[in-house]
């Protein structure tokens, strides 16, 4: 390779010299002014072709194992900064140049600058992942909106309850000032144990009167009219059938069963009566009933499950009356539902009598009724009347739940301490000797209690006369 230098006064003259010496295909390597003249370094095109075609014995001509073969490689580009002559000179028009030797076939050219810097292809989008992300975002947005809506509704309900309470307090204050006899009757009902809900309903329906005694008399009349009781024992003892006494633990089911058994024996004889106990868990539970049965001369049968009960009732179908003493359990126990199902699916028409403890609170008695209600109760029996300070709570539940009150139990003696329910006597006893209790409700407490009393739809069926 021979690099030639050309100088002239101007660039045009220098290029003319290059064209005359090397031909129109000469490669210009540099062009610069030097000491008042223009200096051009040029290279013949043949020398450039020799650079692109290395000698066969050189190392560059040997094939590389890791490179791919190309059938027609492109000629090597001119060096950086070089340029070709554009116009052919007339002096070299007839000159022939030898064709450059064909470049050898390389196994694979070295990676170029463009190949090394080429951007990587963009990854393909996973549509399933995008769909899952969008679904999760939408679900989260819905949950957030639902939570906000729920919180907003709770706040609205709280505001509504607060406004209703305040309006009820204002209304009751105005009513108490205009009709003070209503406040006196309200104290009497609350002291007797009746709920604020029932008291509020009756006082709102009470006719206008100026005398507190007349108002209380009207209240007693309405309560007695809505207290359902049996007229005589013929509905229970003479008709006969299968009766099961149910209720929570300690309410007095076994003792009450013995009292009813004694009444049946006195009327029909021991041969017409049969006793069944399901109380196999409580220590001595069935033994207590066996002692009563032995005294009365009645056989006591013990059953464990629904299958035993079916067999026992089938064997005792000829008996006039069958009394079943069930195991006591809490009204919040899940086994209550199983017990109700066992009695309902025993293959016989079992009438369930619910024992209500007169010493329990109004809320507890309501839970008991709801738990043991099942498909319907035949009636109820009020127990432990002798231990209760007030009985308005039991009467309130019986009235609001539309139960049929059969008997009143007021002691442990068998069969003396069992009486038919007398509604007039019960209502009168509920309001008797409660003046000390009524004094505990001050004028400031009555508006709050009346505002907190909820409207019960079942009270719409209360007969006002």
User: Is there a contact between 191 and 441 (Cβ–Cβ < 8 Å)?
Assistant: yes
User: Is there a contact between 447 and 172 (Cβ–Cβ < 8 Å)?
Assistant: yes
Residues in CB range of 53: below 8 A, 6 or more apart? 100, 101, 102, 103, 104
Range list of β-strands (E), 174-299: 228-229, 241-246, 273-277
Alpha carbons within 13 angstroms on the beta-carbon side of residue 202 total 32
Q: Which residues of 166-181 are buried (b: 16+ CB within 10 A; e: fewer)?
A: eebbeebbebbeebeb
Please tell me what DSSP assigns to residue 212: H
Residue range 360-399, pLDDT digits in tens: 988 999 999 999 988 889 899 999 998 888 888 999 999 9
Dihedrals phi, psi of 143, to nearest 5 degrees: -65, -40
Which secondary-structure segment (H or E) carries 3? strand 3-8
Please tell me what DSSP assigns to residue 305: S
Strands, sheet with 3-8, edge to edge from the N-terminal-most edge strand: 3-8, 37-43, 27-34, 83-84
Within 10 angstroms of residue 159's Cβ, the number of other Cβ atoms is 10
- How far apart are the C-alpha atoms of 367 and 369, rounded to whole Å? 5
CA distances from 161 to 302, 351, 457 (A): 53, 42, 18
Residue range 49-102, pLDDT digits in tens: 666 555 555 555 555 544 344 344 444 444 444 444 444 444 444 444 444 555
CATH 3.40.50.300 fits 231-420, yes or no: yes
- How far apart are the C-alpha atoms of 181 and 8, rounded to whole Å? 134
Q: Tokens 């009349």 identify what position?
A: 221
Q: Which of 230, 243, 261, 240 is nearest to 421 (CA)?
A: 230
Which secondary-structure segment (H or E) carries 34? strand 27-34
Q: Which of 391, 453, 452 is nearest to 422 (CA)?
A: 391
Q: Tokens 């400031």 identify what position?
A: 444
Pairing of the two strands 404-409 and 228-229: parallel
Query: Residue ranges of the domains in the chain?
Result: 3-116, 231-420
Instruction: Calculate ∠ Cα 221-224-228, nearest 5°.
Output: 150
Q: What is the largest CA-CA distance in the chain?
A: 157
Instruction: Calculate ∠ Cα 81-83-89, nearest 5°.
Output: 155
Residue by residue, pLDDT tens for the chain (465 residues) are 678 888 888 888 888 888 888 888 788 888 888 888 888 888 887 776 666 555 555 555 555 544 344 344 444 444 444 444 444 444 444 444 444 555 554 445 445 444 544 566 666 667 788 888 888 889 989 888 998 898 888 888 888 777 766 666 666 666 666 677 887 888 888 888 888 888 888 888 888 777 878 888 899 999 999 999 988 877 778 888 899 999 998 898 988 999 999 999 988 888 999 999 887 666 556 677 888 888 888 988 888 888 888 999 999 989 999 999 988 888 888 888 888 888 888 888 899 999 999 999 889 999 999 999 888 898 999 999 988 888 889 999 999 899 999 999 988 888 888 998 888 999 999 888 665 555 555 555 566 566 555 555 556 567 676
Cis peptide before 58 (omega within 30 of 0): no
Give the chain's radius of gyration (CA, Å): 55
């Amino acid at each position: 390779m021979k690099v030639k230098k050309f100088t002239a006064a101007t660039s045009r003259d220098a290029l003319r010299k290059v064209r005359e010496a090397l031909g129109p295909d000469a490669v210009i390597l540099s062009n610069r002014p030097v000491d008042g003249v223009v200096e051009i370094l040029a290279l013949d095109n043949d020398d450039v072709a020799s650079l692109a075609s290395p000698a066969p014995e050189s190392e560059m001509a040997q094939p590389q194992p890791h490179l791919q073969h190309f059938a027609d490689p492109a000629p090597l580009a001119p060096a950086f900064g070089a340029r070709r002559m554009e116009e052919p000179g007339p002096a070299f028009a007839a000159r022939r140049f030898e064709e450059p030797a064909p470049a050898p076939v390389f196994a694979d050219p070295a990676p170029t600058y463009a190949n090394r810097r080429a951007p990587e292809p963009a990854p393909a989008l996973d549509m399933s992942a995008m769909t899952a992300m969008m679904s999760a975002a939408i679900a989260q947005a819905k949950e957030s909106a639902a939570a906000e809506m729920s919180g907003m509704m709770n706040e609205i309900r709280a505001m509504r309850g607060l406004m209703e309470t305040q309006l009820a307090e204002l209304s009751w204050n105005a009513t108490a000032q205009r009709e003070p006899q209503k406040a006196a009757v309200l104290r009497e009902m609350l002291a007797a144990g009746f709920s604020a809900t029932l008291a509020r309903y009756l006082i709102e329906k009470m006719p206008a009167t100026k005398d507190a005694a007349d108002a209380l008399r009207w209240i007693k009349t309405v309560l007695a009219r809505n207290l359902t009781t049996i007229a005589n024992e013929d509905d229970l003892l003479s008709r006969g059938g299968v009766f099961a006494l149910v209720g929570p633990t300690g309410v007095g089911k076994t003792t009450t069963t013995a009292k009813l058994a004694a009444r049946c024996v006195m009327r029909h004889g021991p041969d017409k009566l049969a006793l069944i106990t399901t109380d196999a868990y409580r220590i001595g539970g069935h033994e207590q009933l066996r002692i009563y049965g032995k005294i009365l001369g009645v056989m006591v049968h013990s059953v464990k499950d629904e299958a035993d009960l079916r067999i026992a009732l089938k064997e005792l179908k000829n008996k006039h009356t069958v009394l079943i003493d069930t195991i006591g359990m809490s009204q919040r126990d899940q086994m209550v539902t199983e017990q109700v199902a066992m009695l309902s699916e025993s293959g016989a028409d079992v009438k369930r009598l619910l024992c209500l403890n007169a010493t329990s609170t109004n809320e507890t008695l309501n839970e008991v009724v709801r738990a043991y209600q099942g498909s319907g109760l035949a009636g109820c029996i009020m127990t432990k009347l002798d231990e209760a300070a007030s009985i308005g709570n039991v009467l309130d539940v019986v009235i609001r739940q539309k139960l049929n009150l059969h008997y009143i139990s007021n002691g442990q003696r068998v069969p003396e301490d069992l009486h038919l329910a007398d509604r007039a006597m019960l209502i009168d006893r509920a309001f008797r000797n409660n003046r000390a209790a009524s004094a505990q409700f001050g004028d400031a407490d009555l508006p709050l209690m009346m505002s907190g009393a909820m409207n019960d739809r079942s009270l719409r069926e209360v007969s006002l006369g």
